[in-house]
Structure 1
Amino acid sequence: MRLVIAGIGLIGARHLAHALEMPGIEVVAVVDPSLSQDHVPHFATIEDVDLAADGVLIATPSHLHADHAEAAAARGWHMLIEKPVAHSLEAADRIIRAADRAGVRTLVGHHRRHHAAVARLKDLLDAGVVGAPVLASMIWAMKKPDPYFEVPWRAGPDGSPVMINLVHEVDLLRHLFGEVVEVAGFGSNAQRGAARVESGAAILGFAGGVSATVSFADTCASPFGFEAGTGENPNIATTGEDYLRICGTEGAIAFPSLTVWSGAADWSQQPGVRRESFTPNIPLVAQLAHFADVCAGAAPLVSAEDGRKSLEATLALEAAVAPRRVAA
C-alpha cells in the first residue's frame, strides 16, 4: 500500500513511525503545513502531492477532516480518518458523500477495536461469560499537563476531553453493547476554568437495556483510564489498573485485566474468580494492517457510517455535560 499521511501531530507522528517500519506499507508522502519531517517527501496540502498513492491517513484536527477527506476522495485515495470522523454530523455526512461519489472506502480510526484485549473482551461478552450484560461503570481520569493546552485549538471548546478522549470510550461501549438511545449527565470546569468541560459524569442507555456510567476528567492525577490501564500510549504512564467494570446476570468482568467473576447463582454465594489471557498487540499497527486490507477491497471494521454513530452519541454526551456556568 502506498500511503500518504496528512497531519503529524501527536497521533499522526505515531502513525508515521509505525508505518515506516511496516512491511507492505510504503509511506510516499507526508502532508503538514507547519510541522516537518525528513523521512519522505513533504507537502503543505493534499492538493500539492504529486505522487501516486493508494490511501491517505488523515490525522489533522477534526474540524478539517471533511475538507481533507473531500480532497483525498477526489484523488481516488481510500481513507483512514482519525477519530472522531468529523467535528459535526454535517461534516461527517460530507465525508460519506465524498467517498460514495469517488467510490473509495473509508476506515475510521477507532483503533481500540483493533486492541487484542478489547477483542478478547468482546469475545467473552458474546460468549455469555457474564450472562446478559446489565451495567457498566467506567472511569477515565487523567491529568493533562498545562503545555498540552498551548496548542491553540486545544485552548478552547475543541480541547474538551469529550471529543478528544471520550469519543474512544463511547465507541468502545457501542462496540460492546450496541446503540446508545439515552444520554444524561453533569459537567464542570471548576479546576482550570476554561471555556470547555473538563470533568463530569454521564449515564448512557443502550437499546438492549444496558446502563453505563462514564466518569471523566482531564484534571485528575489518577491511575484510571484505558491508556494507563493497557499501556498502549507511550505518552501516558502505565498503571495496569482496571478502568471498566461490566456486570451481568451471571457474573462480572473487569477491563483491562480481564478478571472474571462467575458461578454465583445469587448474592448468597461466593463467585469464582479467574483472569482471562490474550496475546498482546500494537493496535495502531493492527489498524494500519487492516487499512491495507481495506485498500485492497476488504470491508472496514469501522466504516464512516459507523463512525458517524459514535460521533452522534459523543455529541449528545458533550451536550449533556456542558458546564451550567463558567467557573470563577
Structure 2
Amino acid sequence: MKRILVLGGGLIGARHLQAVAAHPACELVGLVDPNPDCTCDPAVRRFADLSEVSQTVDGVIIATPTALHAAQGVEAAKRGWHMLIEKPVAGDLAGAQALRDAVSAAGVGSLVGHHRRYHLTIRRLREMIAQGLVGEVVTVSLIWAMRKPDAYFEGNWRTAGGSPVMINLVHDIDILRHVIGEIADVAALRGRDLRKSGRIESGAVALGFENGATGTIAFADTTPSPWGFEAGTGENPNIGATGQDMMWITGTKGSISFPSLTRWSGASDWSQAASPGREAIVEDGKAPLMRQLEHFIEVMEGAKPLIDVADATRTLAVALEIDQQLARKAA
C-alpha cells in the first residue's frame, strides 16, 4: 500500500482524491488545503498546511495553484516524498529548475501531471507517427476553443491571471512535443479582450519543430465550439463531449486526424482522392487519471517516469514564451 497525500482540493484535486481513494493499492493520508469551505468529502482528513502532516507519506500529489508548485515540491523532496505535480510544473523556469535540483538531490521520483500522455489514443497516435505511417510529418494544426463560464474566473487565483495558455494549451503543447518532436520556434498573435478583463483570452500560435515540421494552434476561452481535446475525447466530466476531431497531422505519405485516428492514405498525385481508414483502439475502461496514478505507484517503486520535472520544464518553457509574447501584444 502506498500512503498518498493530496495538496489542493480544487477541481483537479478533487478528482485526484477520488482516484486515490478508489485505488486498491493506495491509502489516502489526507488533504492539505487551507480553505475550510473546500467541497471535498468531509470524511477525508484535513490539514491546513504541510507543516501539520506528521503521518508517514510515500507520495504526494500536488494539485495547488501553479505558483505554489515549486515551493511545495521542494518541501516534499526535503521530506523524502515522491511527487506527482499537476501541470504546469511551476510558474516560472527558475522555480522549475529549483524543483529539478531538489528532486535530484533528494533522490525521489517525480512525475508531472500531463495526463493526456496516458490516453490510449495518444499512445497509438505516437506509435503511428514513429512507425512512419504518414511518412515524415510536414504540418500539424490544432484547435482548442470553448466558452468558459464567468464563474470560473471569480474569487480565485484565475481572477488576475487565468490565461488559457498556462491552464489549457500547456497540455496541447506537451502532446505536440510528445507526438511530433521538440519545438524550436514560436510566434504568437493575441485576440480580442471580449470580457474586458485584461486577461489573455484567444489567439493564434505558429510553431517550428526541430525536425522541420511546422504547426499552428488556434485557441479561445470565449466561444462555444465542438473542438478541443476535452470535448473530442470526453476525458473531463465537467466538459461536454462532442467526439469531434481537433488535431490534424499531415505527412509525406498521408495524414491523421485526432482523436478519431482517421488515417488518410496519400495518393501519388492530386488527381486521386486520399482514402480514409480508422484505427481500432481497444479501451480498458480506465480513465487516464487512473492510469497516471498507477504509473505514479510504479515511479515510487523506481520505474522511469513518463514525464518528469526536467521533461515538463521543456513544455513549460514553450508555454511561457507563448504567454509572454501574447502579453506584449495586448489587443
TM-score where L is the length of structure 1: 0.96
Deviation digits for residues 207-232 of structure 1, max 9, x if unmatched?
00110100000001000000000000
1:311 is the counterpart of 2:312: no
Contact residue 5 and residue 28 of structure 2 kept, 8 A: yes
**How is 1:1-328 mapped onto 2 (pairs within 5 angstroms)?**
1-34=2-35, 35=38, 37-157=41-161, 159-280=162-283, 281-322=286-327, 324-325=329-330
5+ residue gaps in structure 1?
none
When the two structures are aligned, how many residues end up with a matched partner? 325
Deviation digits for residues 272-315 of structure 1, max 9, x if unmatched?
21111212341100000000000011011001000000000111
State the identity %. 50
Q: Cα offset for 1:26? A: 1.1
Deviates more, 1:27-36 or 1:56-65: 27-36
5+ residue gaps in structure 2?
none
TM-score where L is the length of structure 2: 0.96
Do the aligned partners of residues 190 and 323 (structure 1) sit closer, same or farther apart at CA in structure 2, a change above 3 Å counting? farther
Q: Cα offset for 1:83? A: 0.2
Report the 3-state secondary structure (helix = DSSP H, G, I; strand = E; otherwise coil) of the residue aligned with 1:234.
coil
Contact residue 148 and residue 221 of structure 2 kept, 8 A: yes
Give the Cα separation in 1 of the matches to 2:224 and 2:209: 30
Deviation digits for residues 87-126 of structure 1, max 9, x if unmatched?
1000101111111121111101000001111101111111
Equivalent AA in structure 2 for residue 8 of structure 1: G
Report the 3-state secondary structure (helix = DSSP H, G, I; strand = E; otherwise coil) of the residue aligned with 2:327.
coil
Do the aligned partners of residues 219 and 48 (structure 1) sit closer, same or farther apart at CA in structure 2, a change above 3 Å counting? same
Report the 3-state secondary structure (helix = DSSP H, G, I; strand = E; otherwise coil) of the residue aligned with 2:144.
strand
Deviates more, 1:259-268 or 1:69-78: 259-268
Deviation digits for residues 38-64 of structure 1, max 9, x if unmatched?
233211111211110110000000000
Contact residue 73 and residue 98 of structure 1 kept, 8 A: yes
Give the Cα separation in 1 of the matches to 2:320 and 2:127: 28
